[in-house]
Amino acid sequence: MTGCSGSMGDPLQDVSGDEEGGSEASDAGAADRGPLRAPGGPDVAIPPDPGVTMPFVHSLFTDHMVLQRQAQTPIWGWTQAGTKVTVEIAGKSFVATADQYGRWLVRIGPFEAGGPYTLAISGPKAVVFQDVFFGDVWLCSGQSNMFLSVANALNAKAEIAASDFPQLRLFTVPPLALRTPRQTLASASAWTVTGPTTTGGFSATCYVFGRALHGKLKVPIGLIHSSVGGTVAQAWTSAPALATIEDFKPALAAAAASSAPATNNTVTALYNGMIAPLLPYGIKGVTWYQGEANVGRGPQYSRLLPTLIADWRANFRMGKVPFLIVQLPNWMEAQTVAVENSDLALLRDAQLQTVLDDPQNGLAVTADIGEALTVHPRNKQDVGARLAASAFHVAYGEANVFSGPTNTGMKVEGGQIRLSFANVGTGLMVGRKLGLAPVQEVAGGVLTGFAIAGADRKYVWATATIDAQDVVVSSPQVPAPVSVRHGWGNNPPCNLYNREGLLASPFRTDPDYEIRVVFGTGSGTFRAAESVTIVANGPPIGKRFDKWVGDVQNVSDVRSPRATLTMPSRYVSIAATYVN
């Protein structure tokens, strides 16, 4: 994975570098070329994958699988067009007829949690799957911190030895980068039962998360792991969704025109090869541990991540499934001075805002469990546990303390600022987190990681004290404060917790917003309501300026090559267009 201090690449380009040397598709030749096409919904007739023998039953369905409970769960495959296929389970039968491309699909259920069942599929062929359970299925995706295995996490030997959970099932999606969506997996994979011989190679974050759910809910849990190290979020987003952000249209056009095999960081490539083949498997929700490769584009990520979430929800067609995000951990040298600018902090802020804007999203704050010397902290036990706490609230409706303190506002009181918080649980405290041990309260401890600034935006460390459910911040160096930042930096000294042991997310009270202008000038960072001048580039030979497209709601005149835009409280993506 490329470090935060390195170049993350320009999203306007077709990124061709494979940042961690991930596997390339073995069949990324003819089947990887051609115009971009959407995989379509589960009821849309879709042509077969080019150059691929389509299986009678999709390879997601194997012995030991978990199917989503309390849902109309899809099961599908391919045969001759017009052929009837029967699916039988728990004494019930479901019949499908293959469409003109030979794809058949039935929805079984709804069934309550339980098993084991035998699933029998008959038609031109007969296939029987054993040891099938209904429960909750979670998709775990992202880059290398999601990929990091149980064998490489803390306490690996003990974790593996104790991983005997017969109703916790694992499935790993084979890596595949493609320029066009595919319906089938890159290679054979299978559901496995969790145990000492299977757990070590599986995603540690995903495993610990699933173990926590299974232990509390007492229902079968299926975990689908689909991640690749060193990858950008735009590689995990479909072409139609990515095209709604003007920034990415040039990269999409370049990808569509290229005849070279896709890499792991080609736009849409991992969605095409590792998410589209899963559609429309029934899932309960998604956990997402990604963002390191997008550091340096934090404001853009504030638009990209919600776009990816909406994209996956629409394509899985399971409703507005919960989407749980791991906020990036602390990393690099411990911070000793207050800073205004931090690319890592901006990425964390984008993750926080994505959650605050949607109650079906959840956040696991990890700014206290990273490691200064590596972007791959080995403590995945706390990551999985914090994701599970979020899941119990967001996905299962539990009235639990699911988050650390979340800033809800500020009030200037003379020479100090009073910060208010939600999710304080049973109270705020100064805490200390060491290794895998629970967070401990530091009696008489001093809050750290708070910085304050006046109108000059020069931040200095502040004195911060807990006052009931508020925190009061001040500094003699800033007699007229206007803003506060907490945990703002690469490796900030954060120690504000609730008494349930969950860390407050890093935040800022003075947000700026970014505009990206494609084929023009005016890109930059601005305050909300600030007036921005945008100017189109000179037209190509033989063409003239036509109009501005994209987020043009606040543009003074979309037909003028020189216009003004009133900055909204969000990221803006806009482009100049030309006609003959």
- pLDDT score of 277 more than 60: yes
- pLDDT score of 284 more than 50: yes
End-to-end CA distance of the chain: 44
Round to whole Å and give the CA distance between 208 and 170: 12
- pLDDT score of 3 more than 70: no
Round to whole Å and give the CA distance between 25 and 21: 12
pLDDT computed for residue 55 by the predictor? 97
Residues 390-420: pLDDT tens digits? 999 999 999 999 999 999 999 999 999 999 9
- pLDDT score of 26 more than 90: no
Round to whole Å and give the CA distance between 397 and 419: 28
- Environment class of 13 (CB within 10 Å of its CB; exposed 0-12, middle 13-18, buried 19+): exposed
Q: What is the mean pLDDT of the chain?
A: 92
Q: How confident is the model at residue 334 (pLDDT cuts 50, 70, 90)?
A: confident
pLDDT computed for residue 512 by the predictor? 94
The residues pairing with 363 across neighbouring beta strands, listed in sequence order, are 325
Largest interatomic CA distance in the chain: 81
Residues 145-182: pLDDT tens digits? 999 999 999 999 999 999 999 999 999 999 999 999 99
Order the strands of the 524-526 sheet from edge to edge.
524-526, 513-518, 572-579, 544-550
CA dihedral for 353, 357, 363, 365, sign (positive or negative)? positive
Round to whole Å and give the CA distance between 474 and 418: 9
Round to whole Å and give the CA distance between 342 and 513: 14
